[in-house]
Amino acid sequence: MILKILGTGCANCRKLEANVREAVKEMGLDAEVKKVENIKDIMSYGVMGTPALVKDEKVLFAGRVPNVDAIKKYIAE
């Protein structure tokens, strides 16, 4: 599983990355977490707001920072 955090490095982007890493750790997943900070790359996903989370090239959500438990539900789907 590849999880990508889309964002330019703002505080919310860093918080989302921390929450995603914690969710992966708590779930015991073998997942690769990557940051995507290039604007052109972010735009290629069609998101209108950052941060956003992408799982295996599918955008799960954008424009907010869910808590760890909510992220676990998104990842599990």
Annotated catalytic residues are 10, 13
SS3 labels along the chain: CEEEEECCCCHHHHHHHHHHHHHHHHHCCCCEEEEECCHHHHHCCCCCCCCEEEECCEEEEECCCCCHHHHHHHHHC
